Structure 1
């Protein structure tokens, strides 16, 4: 009984073997595909532009004009800068009538920029600090009226309970370092008079170079000291220090200028001044 069963089993295996499709000569059968080579990871995208503007002093029309010059807002005053970073170096308030409008504009742009990968940075100016501390010597009557009177303005600036005081305390920075190479402050890191020395005075540049080395940056940027006589960005110490307060508000002459920093593939930067009449390398 065992032999017939063994014979039938062998016969069954032979039938299966001979009935297999013969692919050895089938030229239409594709050879086994080689594993696809791994694609290199995508190169990191180059950061967007960095643009910076100086003191605005409660002048909405001039603020809109300089931000359009920077190409970060459209005609409806909405963010159009994509992944760019906008830095404003303080002193939005005082000397003009449009305090509420300008602060609200930056708050709106901050939120809009964040949604598309951009960034809006505000740095404290001495006038922000003065108003938070109720030093109101430079507040205009039009400014008081826009808040509905002195008491309502005082309440709005309260850092714990006021809508504007809380907004500033939450969103403003004392300094800002951009991409590790440029530090933005409101005022110079030493006396204000140093910022007025054109041509790279020896003592000024010694201090600039010491500060750059200590901070590990390529350049220092500040506002605070209006260059209203020239209306141009001041660049000294071989571009190591720049003053971007050109007197944007009408109070200081209504000059328009934007600092623009472009990133290069080798880690260096190209720095330009943008003016209504054109672009100049710094």
Structure 2
């Protein structure tokens, strides 16, 4: 299966020229005291980044464009918070390099100032479920094979602690609620801290890769990593697309209930690729969708969300020819 995606990625990357033709301009999404009710924020701005899907070059170029790293890929965002919304892995070839860069700048931010947050996506969950059907062969090869890759993301491996114990399912940063996909009231009412703890407890206590693979083969998926409602593929917070499937007035009603619980002004999500690489909003800009198809294996678009606390502004940022 990974060979199929390898071939598809190469062909798609070569054929897709739309991002060269479609050039979005930076767009002011919202501004004013109503969107920023608090008087003082510790950090000047927040940069929110959508699904990367193994595209190291795109990650590097966006972080430089946002002035978060320098030409040596060292952290310079001393007045900034970076929030990555999940789906670092699958489809593209450079998951290892992507994770290594995040590990590096997280440590540097702790010393130099600024913060780097990383959230779980459904594709990180795929990997931990032994669902290796969207991983390229070149990704496996970068680890030295699939067994070495599995070891690396296990609790005993180099990246296991990060993926399973440090990356949250959801979180609030200033007035913003972040989650990979839509967080509905059913889950939000349990409390964000409880949700994060619950997910980490499951992910850090799973059977071996061979046992999980056997479950896949036999379709005998009984471990909570498959069966717990938090990972539900219909309305779980890593998967839900109910903001697409139901009328917007119902979405907004649900959203308001969740934002009230989280004491937030807006929800920022990824997961669903937005057409032609443009950030979209719903519910009077209280729901912001930032999965732009960044990876060359998907859309090869360029963009991110920038929240300027000091100016009380929210911007969709793009790379235009003038840049």
Query: Shared fold (TM-score greater than 0.5)?
Result: yes
* CA-CA distance at 1:44 after TM superposition: 7.4
- Report which structure shows greater RCO (CA 8 Å, sep ≥6): 2
Summarize deviations over 1:37-83 as a string: whole Å, max 9, x none. Answer: xxxxxx97752211110100011111111212222111121111112
2 CA distance for matches of 1:53 and 1:196? 21
1 CA distance for matches of 2:55 and 2:63? 12
Q: Secondary structure at the match of 2:172?
A: strand
**Structure 1: segments with no counterpart, 5+ residues:** 1-42
Q: Secondary structure at the match of 2:69?
A: coil
* CA-CA distance at 1:169 after TM superposition: 2.6
2 CA distance for matches of 1:239 and 1:197? 18
Map of 1:275 onto structure 2: 318
Q: Secondary structure at the match of 2:57?
A: helix
Range with greater deviation from structure 2 (93-102 or 181-190): 181-190
Map of 2:249 onto structure 1: 202
1 CA distance for matches of 2:309 and 2:288? 18
Q: 1:105 aligns with which of 98, 101, 112?
A: 101
1 CA distance for matches of 2:78 and 2:153? 31
The reply on whether 1:90 has 2:86 as its aligned counterpart is: yes
2 CA distance for matches of 1:44 and 1:120? 20
Map of 1:183 onto structure 2: 177
Map 1:140-155; keep pairs closer than 5 Å: 140-155=136-151
Q: Which 4+ stretches in 1 moved above 3 angstroms?
A: 43-46, 190-198
**Structure 2: segments with no counterpart, 5+ residues:** 1-38, 185-234
- Work out whether residues 83 and 116 of structure 1, in 8 Å CA contact, stay in contact via their aligned partners in 2: no
Q: 1:125 aligns with which of 102, 121, 124?
A: 121
Summarize deviations over 1:215-256 as a string: whole Å, max 9, x none. Answer: 2110001111111x2201111111110111111111111111
Map of 2:49 onto structure 1: 53
Q: Secondary structure at the match of 1:251?
A: coil
What's the TM-score, normalizing by structure 1?
0.76
Map of 2:162 onto structure 1: 167
Map of 2:30 onto structure 1: none
